[in-house]
C-alpha cells in the first residue's frame, strides 16, 4: 500500500517535443511507433510538456502510420492531482486521438479515476467506482479503461466490464 519515489523530476521539465525530436530523430520515433507491439506513454503529470509531446507524435509521426488495433498504446498519467481540470481534459482529448491508430488503454488508480471523473463531469457528484468507470469509458473513445484499487482491478471495453481481485498482501514482509 505504499511506495518510495526516487525521482528527481526537475530535468523532466526541460523535455518537450522539439527536444525529443532533436535527440531521437523523427525517423527513429516513426520506427518506434510503426513497429512496436506495445507502446507506453507514462508519467504525463511529471513531464510538464507531455501534452505537447502527444501533439507532436499525433501531428508529425502518426499521419503516416497505418491504423492497427493489434498495436497497443498504454497510458498511465501518474498522480495528476496538481493539474487543472482543463489540463486533464486536454490530455484525454489527445489520448482519444491515439485511439484512431492503436488499441488505446488508459490505466488509473482509484484517486486518479475520481479526479478524471470530476474533470469530465464537473457538475455531477462522484458516484460508485463501477459507475464512475463506466461513465469515463462512455465519455471517451479510449478502447480500454482500467481502474485499479488496492484490492481489485476493473476494466471497461466494448464487450462490457471485467473485474478481478488484485494480488493484495495484507501484511507484506
Q: Please answer whether residues 107 and 75 qualify as being in contact, where contact means their C-beta atoms are separated by less than 8 angstroms.
A: yes
pLDDT of residue 11: 74
pLDDT of residue 171: 83
Tell me how far CA of residue 159 lies from CA of 11, 144, 155, 162, in angstroms.
41, 10, 10, 9
Number of alpha carbons in the 13 Å side-chain half-sphere of residue 147: 24
DSSP state, 170? S
Q: Mark the ranges of the chain whose per-residue pLDDT is less than 50.
A: 1
What is the rounded distance in angstroms from the CA atom of residue 5 to the CA atom of residue 71? 30
pLDDT digits (tens, 9 = 90+) for 65-102: 999 999 999 999 988 998 999 999 999 999 999 999 99
What's the CA angle centered on 94, arms 91 and 99, to 5 degrees? 125
Tell me how far CA of residue 85 lies from CA of 80, 92, 117, 122, in angstroms.
10, 11, 10, 9
Amino acid at each position: 500500500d505504499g511506495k518510495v519515489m526516487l525521482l528527481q523530476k526537475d530535468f523532466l521539465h526541460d523535455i518537450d517535443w522539439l527536444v525529443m525530436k532533436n535527440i531521437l530523430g523523427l525517423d527513429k520515433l516513426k520506427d518506434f511507433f510503426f513497429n512496436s507491439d506495445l507502446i507506453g506513454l507514462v508519467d504525463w503529470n511529471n513531464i510538464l510538456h507531455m501534452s505537447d509531446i502527444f501533439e507532436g507524435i499525433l501531428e508529425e509521426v502518426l499521419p503516416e502510420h497505418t491504423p492497427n488495433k493489434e498495436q497497443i498504446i498504454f497510458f498511465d498519467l501518474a498522480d495528476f492531482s496538481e493539474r487543472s481540470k482543463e489540463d486533464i481534459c486536454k490530455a484525454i482529448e489527445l489520448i482519444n486521438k491515439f485511439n484512431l491508430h492503436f488499441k488505446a488503454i488508459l490505466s488509473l488508480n482509484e484517486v486518479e479515476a475520481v479526479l478524471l471523473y470530476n474533470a469530465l463531469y464537473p457538475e455531477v457528484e462522484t458516484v460508485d467506482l463501477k459507475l464512475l468507470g463506466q461513465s469515463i469509458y462512455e465519455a471517451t473513445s479510449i478502447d480500454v479503461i482500467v481502474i485499479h484499487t488496492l484490492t481489485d482491478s476493473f476494466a471497461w471495453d466494448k464487450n462490457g466490464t471485467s473485474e478481478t481481485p488484485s494480488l493484495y498482501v495484507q501484511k507484506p514482509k
